[in-house]
Amino acid sequence: MSEACLLVRALAHPESTRALDAVGWTALIAIARAEQLMGSLAHRLDGLELPPKVAGLCA
């Protein structure tokens, strides 16, 4: 899956991020930052259980 598709899916269906491993999270965070959508992603992920490092980036 391309990084763009990963970001679109995470924004549209935040629960899809539950299946991500460390490599997937790294790709998702990188593309969200590159597209200046990290704030939007953090907002969509709010309330979900996230890995500690990801939660720190979304705070």
* Domains of the chain by residue range: 3-58
**pTM given for the model:** 0.91
Rounded Cα gap, residues 23 and 18, in angstroms? 13
- Contact indicator for 40, 15 with CB cutoff of 8 Å: no
Tens digits of per-residue pLDDT, 18-52?
999 999 999 999 999 999 999 999 999 999 999 99
If one counts every other C-beta atom within 10 angstroms of the C-beta of residue 7, the result is 21
